[in-house]
């Protein structure tokens, strides 16, 4: 049973279907693994073993009656601690929400429950999804499963680390500027940021609402496709969620295999600051596709240099407004020292929010303040449009863009904590995708000499998730990096 934890989603789903093992057995294997390693990995903030096992039992009962709810029924899925799950704590990695218990289910959580998924644990994250390493979590720093002295990436740090370390089969993260793809890349798993509007944001704590998207993580493209299948689609509770036809992602992935697309390689994404091992590994992936018969074309995305400044204006502006609700009055921490209403706001926020979150609220308030609004926020919105146009120009010539996910492999804990700009740079290649609302996937394309995973990013046209999944699937069939297991 121990080996179950290393099964791919496809193997686990099939094993459950054929009754080779039960959901309770599978879930217990992941729980045992979590107990064995999470003291050193620290991917989980919280879990409710009894609740999880009850969900697994219910799945087994359904299956024994021939009433299985589908491919996800009985499969353990972990949630970033940003999604509301009724009756469970939701901290968002922040002291200010330390004791908050969700009164309802997020749409994604409801959809997972309706699909029979077994929800295992609440996964660590940078506070309010602001960060790239888990070091902004108010509670703990998650380790990278491939080297415990290094960070797992962020902000969906626990979601990537737990899947890579065999603590859970699949997980859900969120991606506002790279927070699914960058940790997936650093932990050696597959992570997808869908097109904006693909997955409902209802019940997902808001950071920067025009950029936030939930995204699935798994050890294989098939696992990501299966999660996306149940998560995507319209939601009357989120008007930004598109009324789209949901394709059969898993079937589409397998049936479109063999199709050759035109790949664009944006020169700007291979320039200064890119680690040489990351570069050569991604170039090898490009050569692989070329050898498979794909056409590879150089393209230009000159707007890259504006991505980080534009993101840190728009994201902080939206964050300063979204986070105003944590006021010490409703559902949050309230400072015991406050003696009047002003002090309640002031001291609760001062004590309850971390340094990086406060930095962003201040920045966001500044760029929205009168006199600066046009100079910063208004200008950034215009440049955001130019970034989108830049992508669309490239997509007139090519189907998919290929780039590194992160300029560097997992870095050492503490290495960038005193230099926010250096930390921001680790999202250089992922951020424009959110500003343009596009889908993008990160999949493992190699390892450094030290044994750290390297991620390759594919960026697609809007709503072309199946193309990205199909290409990642083709790659992993020829390069089974997902079968490599970290030594811990």
Catalytic residues: 80, 155, 179
Q: In the complex, what is the shortest distance from the CB of residue 345 to ligand GLN, in angstroms, rounded to a whole number? A: 25
Token pair 């019940």 in the structure block, residue: 203
Residue 301's nearest CA partner among 275, 271, 280 is 271
Mask of contacts with ligand GLN, 147-166, x by CB under 6 A? Answer: --------x-----------
Residue 193's nearest CA partner among 479, 469, 480 is 469
Token pair in block for residue 376: 């910063």
Mask of contacts with ligand GLN, 422-441, x by CB under 6 A? Answer: -----x--------------
Question: Of 5 and 357, which CB lies nearer to ligand GLN in the complex structure?
Answer: 357
Q: Does 131 contact ligand GLN by CB under 6 A?
A: yes
Q: In the complex, what is the shortest distance from the CB of residue 67 to ligand GLN, in angstroms, rounded to a whole number? A: 38
Q: Does 407 contact ligand GLN by CB under 6 A?
A: no
Q: ∠ at Cα 80 (79, 83), nearest 5°?
A: 80
Q: Using omega within 30 degrees of 0 as the cis cutoff, is the peptide bond preceding 271 cis? A: no
- Whether the CB-CB separation of 231 and 213 falls below 8 Å is answered with no
Among 22, 27, 179, 229, indicate the residue that binds ligand GLN (CB under 6 A): 179
Cα pseudo-dihedral 124, 128, 129, 133, rounded to 10: -60
Q: In the complex, what is the shortest distance from the CB of residue 432 to ligand GLN, in angstroms, rounded to a whole number? A: 12
Question: Of 12 and 214, which CB lies nearer to ligand GLN in the complex structure?
Answer: 214
Angstrom distance (rounded) from CA 153 to CA 408: 10
Angstrom distance (rounded) from CA 58 to CA 70: 14
- The dihedral region occupied by 310, where left means phi > 0, alpha psi between -120 and 50, and beta the remainder, is alpha
Mask of contacts with ligand GLN, 263-302, x by CB under 6 A? Answer: ----------------------------------------
Question: Of 129 and 402, which CB lies nearer to ligand GLN in the complex structure?
Answer: 129
Q: In the complex, what is the shortest distance from the CB of residue 354 to ligand GLN, in angstroms, rounded to a whole number? A: 12
- Whether the CB-CB separation of 85 and 102 falls below 8 Å is answered with yes
Please provide the size of the chain in residues. Answer: 488
Token pair in block for residue 199: 């997955």
- Start-to-end CA distance of the chain, whole Å, equals 18
Distance of CA 154 to the CA centre of its chain: 8
Mask of contacts with ligand GLN, 313-332, x by CB under 6 A? Answer: --x-----------------
Angstrom distance (rounded) from CA 67 to CA 71: 12
- Whether the CB-CB separation of 257 and 225 falls below 8 Å is answered with no
Among 82, 96, 97, 129, indicate the residue that binds ligand GLN (CB under 6 A): 129
Q: Does 176 contact ligand GLN by CB under 6 A?
A: yes
Q: Does 175 contact ligand GLN by CB under 6 A?
A: yes
Options 172-180, 197-205, 260-268, 294-302: segment touching ligand GLN (CB under 6 A): 172-180
Q: In the complex, what is the shortest distance from the CB of residue 129 to ligand GLN, in angstroms, rounded to a whole number? A: 4
Angstrom distance (rounded) from CA 192 to CA 158: 16
Q: Does 93 contact ligand GLN by CB under 6 A?
A: no
Question: Of 94 and 155, which CB lies nearer to ligand GLN in the complex structure?
Answer: 155
Q: Does 191 contact ligand GLN by CB under 6 A?
A: no
Q: Does 124 contact ligand GLN by CB under 6 A?
A: no
Q: Does 134 contact ligand GLN by CB under 6 A?
A: no
State the DSSP code for 296: E
Question: Of 175 and 327, which CB lies nearer to ligand GLN in the complex structure?
Answer: 175
Options 12-20, 112-120, 169-177, 406-414: segment touching ligand GLN (CB under 6 A): 169-177
- Whether the CB-CB separation of 99 and 143 falls below 8 Å is answered with no
Interacting residues toward ligand GLN by CB under 6 A: 129-132, 155, 174-179, 207, 315, 427
């Amino acid at each position: 049973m121990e080996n179950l934890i290393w099964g791919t989603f496809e193997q686990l789903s099939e094993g459950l279907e054929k009754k080779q093992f039960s959901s309770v057995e599978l879930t217990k294997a992941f729980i045992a693994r979590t107990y064995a390693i999470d003291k050193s990995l620290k991917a989980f903030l919280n879990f409710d073993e009894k609740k999880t096992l009850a969900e697994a039992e219910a799945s087994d009962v359904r299956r024994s009656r021939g009433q299985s709810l589908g491919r996800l029924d009985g499969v353990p899925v972990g949630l970033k601690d940003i999604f509301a799950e009724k009756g469970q704590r939701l901290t968002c990695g922040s002291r200010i929400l330390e004791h908050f218990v969700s009164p309802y289910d997020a749409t994604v959580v409801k959809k997972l429950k309706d699909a029979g998924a077994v929800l295992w644990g609440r996964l660590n994250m940078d506070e309010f999804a602001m960060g790239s390493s888990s070091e902004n979590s108010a509670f703990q720093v998650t380790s990278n499963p491939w080297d415990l002295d290094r960070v797992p990436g962020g902000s969906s740090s626990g979601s990537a680390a737990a899947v890579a370390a065999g603590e859970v089969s699949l997980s859900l993260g969120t991606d506002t500027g790279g927070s699914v793809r960058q940790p997936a890349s650093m932990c050696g798993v597959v992570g997808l940021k869908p097109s904006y509007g693909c997955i409902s944001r209802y019940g997902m704590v808001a950071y920067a609402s025009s950029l936030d998207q939930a995204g699935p993580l798994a050890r294989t493209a098939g696992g990501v496709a299966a999660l996306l299948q149940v998560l995507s689609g319209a939601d009357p509770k989120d008007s930004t969620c598109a009324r789209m036809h949901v394709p059969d992602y898993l079937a589409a992935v397998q049936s479109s295999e063999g199709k050759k697309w035109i790949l664009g390689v944006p020169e700007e994404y291979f320039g200064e600051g890119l680690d040489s091992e990351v570069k050569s590994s991604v170039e090898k992936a490009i050569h692989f596709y070329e050898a498979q018969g794909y056409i590879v074309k150089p393209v230009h995305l000159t707007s890259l240099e504006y991505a980080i400044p534009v993101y840190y204006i728009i994201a902080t502006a939206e964050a300063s407004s979204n986070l105003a609700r944590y006021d010490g009055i409703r559902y949050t921490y309230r400072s015991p020292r406050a003696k009047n209403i002003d002090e309640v706001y002031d001291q609760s926020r001062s004590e309850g929010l971390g340094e990086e979150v406060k930095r962003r609220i201040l920045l966001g308030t500044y760029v929205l303040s009168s006199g600066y609004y046009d100079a910063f926020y208004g200008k950034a919105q215009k440049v955001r449009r130019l970034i989108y146009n830049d992508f669309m120009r490239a997509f007139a010539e090519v189907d998919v863009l290929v780039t590194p996910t992160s300029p560097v492999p997992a870095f050492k804990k503490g290495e960038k904590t005193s230099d926010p700009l250096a930390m921001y740079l680790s999202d250089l290649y992922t951020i424009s995708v959110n500003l343009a609302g596009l889908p993008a996937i990160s999949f493992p394309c190699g390892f450094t000499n030290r044994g750290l995973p390297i991620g390759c990013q594919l960026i697609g046209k809007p709503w072309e998730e199946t193309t990205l999944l199909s290409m990642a699937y083709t790659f992993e069939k020829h390069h089974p990096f997902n079968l490599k297991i970290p030594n811990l």
